[in-house]
Amino acid sequence: MPSKPSLILASSSRYRKELLSRLRLPFTAISPDVDETPHAGETPEALALRLSVAKAMAVAANHPGSIVIGSDQVATADGQPIGKPGDFPRALAQLQALSGREVEFHSALAVTDGHQVEKADIVTRCRFRRLSDAAIEAYLRAEEPYDTAGSAKAESLGIALMESIQSDDPTAIIGLPLIALTGMLARFGLDPLDAPGAPA
C-alpha cells in the first residue's frame, strides 16, 4: 500500500497547531513568507481566501508531494476590518468600540497538493455583551489577547465577553475550521479516521 503524503500546516500560529493536533495526523508547521497587505477594494472574505491560498501555495512550492494547509482570518464590524491590537491601549479601545455590537469573523481555509486547491470561507458571527470599562480592563489584564483580532479569545475567558456566537463550525473562531478541513483532507487522501490509532 502506498504511503500517505506528508502533511504541512503553513502557519506559525500556536492556536492553529493546537487545533490541527486534534485530528491526530502527523504534521509539520512551516511559516509561509506571504505579503498580507490587502488589495484596493478587496472584501474581507476575498482577502482571507486569497491569503489562505497564497500561504498554502507558497509552502507547497518548496515541498512537492506534500499536502499543505493554509488559513487566514479577517474580523470585521460593519464591513470594516478589525486588526490585532498589539497592546493594552489598543485592545481597550477595540473592545470599547465592539461592546454591544456584532463582529463577523471570516476564517478561510485552503488545502493543496501543489496542483489542485480546495478552499472555503467559514463565517462566525459574534455578538459582544454590553461591557463596562472595568470588565474590559479585568479581561485584558487576565488574558492579554493582544495577538488576536477583536481582542477576544473565544476558546478561553473571552467567551465571557460574548452574548452569542453563530457558526457552522465551533473551531472556526479559533482560527482553523476543523469540520471543513476534515472533509478537504479526506478528499486529498488524508482522512483522520483512516489514521493509525483512530477508532474502528
Q: Which residues are catalytic?
A: 72
Amino acid at 114: G
User: Which CATH architecture describes the domain 6-188?
Assistant: Alpha-Beta Complex (3.90)
56's CB contacts (< 8 A; 6+ apart) are 10, 32, 68, 69, 70, 110, 111, 112, 117
Whose CA is closest to 173, among 183, 165, 181?
165
As a whole number of angstroms, the distance between CA 120 and CA 122 comes to 6
Residue ranges per structural domain of the chain: 6-188
pLDDT of residue 200: 42
Tens-binned pLDDT, residue by residue, of the chain (200 aa): 456 789 999 999 888 999 999 999 999 999 998 988 888 888 889 999 999 999 999 999 999 999 999 999 999 998 888 888 999 999 999 999 999 999 999 999 999 999 999 999 999 999 999 999 999 999 999 999 998 888 998 888 999 999 999 999 999 999 899 999 999 999 999 999 985 544 44
Radius of gyration of the chain (CA): 18
Query: What pLDDT is stored for residue 1 in this prediction?
Result: 42
